[in-house]
Structure 1
Amino acid sequence: MRRIMSVAVFPLGPLETNCYLVSYEGQAVAIDVGGDPAPGSKYLKEHGLELKAICITHMHFDHLYGVAALAAETHATVYTPEKDKVIASTVLGQGGSSGFPAVPKFESVSIEPGNKTEFAGLECKVLSVPGHTPGSVAYYFKKEKCVFVGDTLFLESIGRTDFPFSSHEQLVTSIRSELFSLPDDTIVYPGHGPGTSIGYEKEHNAFL
């Protein structure tokens, strides 16, 4: 049975990265903060929510721009994928080229996929979905029937694999083995653009 959980989305930063605020019983977790977190901060205050964690799906710069500011404001712990450390020190992780600003530095704790944990009072399983980046993860809330996938899967599309350290073959394998093993009615919250569902993508995603 799905519990009453709220999900608010704020497209932030130069690439309009979806920042999600997932809340339950007065606590919240932020997933990917790609720009000025002011809209999310306002939402937290208006709804009387305490931010407990900031979870990052992968370490590309457009998912990181607002992390330092939100962490400083809320003192929430930041969780980043362990295997994305290889790109954290590159332009992909730090920004600062092609007209994009540098990512403000922040402290984080590495998170390993495969383990069940709890964010804001909600049980979550961290799924390993490499391909877009070596350490990409998805945050799966089984009881709430939803998964936050970063840039792995989109509405009728998949993540880019023309970056250094990306792999198209690995991405497709991750989607088929990890995401498509979830129930069809699982809501998919991607890193950019509108949401979808596992069942819909199985039927309509031409890339797969």
Structure 2
Amino acid sequence: MNIKMDYTVIPGVSTNCYLLINKDTDEAVIIDPAGNEPQISALIEKNKCHPCAILITHGHYDHIGAARQLAVKYGIKVYAGEHEKELLADAYKNLSAHMGAKITLEADVWIKDKQHINPAGIDIEVIHTPGHTSGGVSYYVKDASVLFSGDTLFAESVGRTDFATGSFSDIVSSIKDKLFLLPDDTVVFPGHGESTSIAHEKKYNPYCQ
């Protein structure tokens, strides 16, 4: 399978919004559409692809802001972890109320740990990775050796755990007991900042030694 990845950085808190594209069909998956629909649509147009799903790693405002607009525009469904319902529905817990714009989101499809989904014909494994939020998930694409880790795992760092439903012990466990079981050559694309690899994080991440 010919899989391509592209992304754009949404201003504000510099959220990475990714496009995962099946080049055999030009279908695409949007991952973490932060609040700039025109910018994300421009990325889609640049790649001449056809979105068929939106995947949310977790419910914070800076990862969901344009989700509903894009879902309506392209006639596609939003997927989110089954344990993230409460945070997505609460503008204070998802932090949008503190930013002056109350945003809530109801996913069309609630997904479970270890579930495999196939949007755009790409096999994607859902990994429940609580810690940054209790219902956060990461998305592993074995055929491309990539992981979309949201705000769970960053390059030599981890996500904050001082927001609603966060837990430092949970985030360390999610990384060490789940993500570090993936192949060392897996490339990690986080919600913010530069990409890294599982091998690099096993060796150099100070939070997970």
Once the two structures are TM-superposed, the CA of residue 105 in structure 1 deviates from its matched residue by 5.0
TM-score normalised over the length of structure 2: 0.92
Q: What is the CA deviation profile of residues 73-118 of structure 1, one whole-angstrom value per residue up to 9, with x for unaligned ones?
A: 1111101111011212331326122x44222656532111211121
Residue 95, structure 1, aligned to residue 93, structure 2? no
Q: What is the distance in 2 between the residues matched to 1:59 and 1:104?
A: 9
| Pair 1:11-2:12 in alignment | no
Verify: 1:46 aligned to 2:46, yes or no.
yes
Q: Which residue of 2 aligns with 1:198?
A: 198
* Greater mean deviation of Cα atoms: 81-90 or 14-23: 81-90
Determine the C-alpha separation between the residues in 2 that align with 1:128 and 1:14.
27
Which whole-Å CA distance do the structure 1 matches of 2:61 and 2:184 have between them?
A: 31
SS at match of 1:143: helix
Once superposed, which parts of structure 1, at least 4 consecutive aligned residues long, lie more than 4 Å away? 104-107
CA distance in 2, matches of 1:70, 1:160: 27
Instruction: Give the aligned partner of residue 158 of structure 1.
Output: 158
What's the counterpart of residue 168 of structure 1? 168
Structure 2 counterpart SS, 1:114: coil
CA deviations on 1:30-59 (whole Å, 9 max, x unpaired) are: 000112122221232233311010000011
Specify every segment of 5 or more residues in structure 2 that has no aligned partner in the other structure, as ranges.
none
Q: Give the Cα–Cα distance (whole angstroms) in 1 for the partners of residues 175 and 79 of structure 2.
A: 22
How far apart in 2 are the matches of 1:161 and 1:110?
23
2:145–2:185 Cα contact (<8 Å) kept: yes
Q: Give the count of matched residue pairs.
A: 205
Alignment partner of 1:86: what SS?
helix
Q: Which runs of 5+ in 1 are unaligned?
A: none
Kept after mapping to 1: 8 A contact 2:32/2:63 = yes
State the partner residue of 1:67.
67
Q: CA RMSD in A?
A: 1.5
Residues in 2 aligned to 1:118 and 1:75: alpha-carbon distance in whole angstroms: 17
- Mapped pair 1:23 → 2:21: yes
Code of the residue aligned with 1:72 in structure 2: it is V
Q: Distance in 2 between matches of 1:63 and 1:13?
A: 12
Shift of 1:68: 1.4
Partners of 2:82 and 2:139 lie apart in 1 by 14
Residue identity opposite 1:6 in structure 2:
K
Q: Distance in 1 between matches of 2:7 and 2:154?
A: 15
* Counterpart-to-counterpart distance in 2, 1:94 and 1:167: 17
**CA distance in structure 2 between the aligned counterparts of 1:50 and 1:102, rounded to whole angstroms:** 29
Aligned to 1:207: 207
